[in-house]
Structure 1
């Protein structure tokens, strides 16, 4: 089937944490016979910070972030069997969602793919004219990249016909173990952009342990941290391109995952970094959130911290041998149960099932 996908960026992970998610799931859907066009705006300097060239499996369209550019790409929605609007494009989000509802042909599947469901649902509650709130009843499907039962139930209350989580996963060709890189040697490393609903948790789960362990070395990667107040033993390394993710995850003693506050509250929302780190056989320490055991086994495949004190205690007692053992167990788990290839099997089945239902109803 022909898929028209309107998202933030496939080509750049710059201020765009969903990039590897898009690449992983859409690349596998292409292998299953779908013809994919990905439409992304030229915005937020993403095109100046590309990680990859357009892959051969996708028709990549970068359009000007103008009204004329928007019209040109929305016009192509009428040619697709499946039309997808992802959350968080950053420009013309309302117009894109309204556009796919209006421009898609009558029997095409219309899908909203929410990569930040907790935040979207919170906005919907407070904004009667929120575009998702207005459009949800006209969509055939809502997909989310996390949230589990709480998010499914919330979307159903808003009138969604069907809501299905498609969790982050591992692309083993992109994320895998590599030799340690001196640039990223540390006792604990964290990778994530500086965002309002993450900053306080980073202070708790990274900066607080760093202050209590002044002789240990910490790294923080991602955009926005250069001017943040942090302990002297925390070194900001700036934006880490996808090509360096494996080295960033393979080099420290342990890697830290810190969920954004909205995702931690909802649970069932493993970030892309969880699977990227596990895929590189990193020893992962994650903040505690409901549902972690569905993805990695606490104590054996991942270490779980309730607060900064837990992080400090785990790090203080962690040996290199233990870190290697935990990382190896995590790698085995994600390769066998949490690959994008497996996620795509389920999504492909869902798309074909819904397409048949629409055809029968017509």
Structure 2
């Protein structure tokens, strides 16, 4: 089967957690004998920020770590869908794509008489936090939506954005996250996550920063988009900051600390409860 996937980035996971799941799913497709084409926009904000802050070396390292995975960069103004979708059996279009591209792919499927199955893949909270943005997506020619939680699926059904929707939870890539043990620790607590528009600032203070400070634990934080006041809070609590960490190095970091913790963003807790995000799955897979 030929599977074509349109995602924001395969190569970069800089502030782009969807890359974790994409890499795992694409790897499994390939290992099962399917042909996989992955398209990502040239100069997307994730890859652009990654190269701007770390240079080209992370791209080279990604290619060495994931030899089966390759993506094709496109310019939305010149993208030839006839060529990109030639021979496709299944097409997956992620939610973090330009609405114009989402519409064009749907129209292409309609014009070709439904030559392939077409699904919209949503792994974000915008359907409940920014519904005016999601209304821009024309899914009229899609077979349906793959939503990463039941509540999100119900939003699509209730608002009639799509005529069918299914739940497809995120999961850990067990090619990367597999059982490992370490008896030599260099710290007590590690937190791996982005600051993220203050969506969990209070929770990070309550469940990470203040306990580490009061218990005098050895802790380290990895992630991006930490404003200066957040870095100041970490420093005041004696927490070291490691910056961006490629996801394929996370198992190695897990092994250096006694515990990790997960602090979900507030929209998921308040508006989409019960939707498990990928980081807890990765931690569980690493210890199982």
Fold shared, TM-score > 0.5 on shorter chain: yes
SS at match of 2:209: helix
Counterpart Cα distance in 2 of 1:138 and 1:251 = 48
Q: When the two structures are aligned, how many residues end up with a matched partner? A: 267
State the Cα deviation string for residues 165-215 of structure 1 (Å, max 9, x = none): 222223322112446598x832221111221123333233222322332x1
Change (3 A) 1:209 1:60: same
Aligned to 2:195: 194
Counterpart Cα distance in 1 of 2:223 and 2:81 = 30
Is the Cα contact below 8 Å between 1:37 and 1:58 reproduced in 2? no
Change (3 A) 1:74 1:175: farther
The correspondence of residues 1-362 of structure 1 with structure 2, limited to 5 A, is: 1-42=1-42, 43-44=44-45, 45=48, 46=50, 48=56, 49-50=58-59, 52-53=62-63, 55=66, 57-58=68-69, 60-64=71-75, 67-68=77-78, 71-72=79-80, 76-77=84-85, 79-89=87-97, 93-104=98-109, 105-107=112-114, 108-116=116-124, 118-124=125-131, 126=132, 130-132=135-137, 135-145=138-148, 147-148=149-150, 150-159=151-160, 160-178=162-180, 180=182, 185-196=186-197, 197-213=199-215, 215-225=216-226, 227=228, 228=230, 229-230=232-233, 231-265=236-270, 266-281=272-287, 331=288
**Higher helix proportion (structure 1 or 2):** 1
Change (3 A) 1:173 1:163: same
* Structure 2: gaps of 5 or more residues: none
Is the Cα contact below 8 Å between 1:9 and 1:40 reproduced in 2? yes
Counterpart Cα distance in 1 of 2:140 and 2:129 = 18
Is the Cα contact below 8 Å between 1:63 and 1:73 reproduced in 2? no
Counterpart Cα distance in 2 of 1:136 and 1:100 = 10
Counterpart Cα distance in 2 of 1:233 and 1:74 = 56
Supply the RMSD in Å over aligned alpha carbons: 2.6
Counterpart Cα distance in 1 of 2:120 and 2:8 = 13
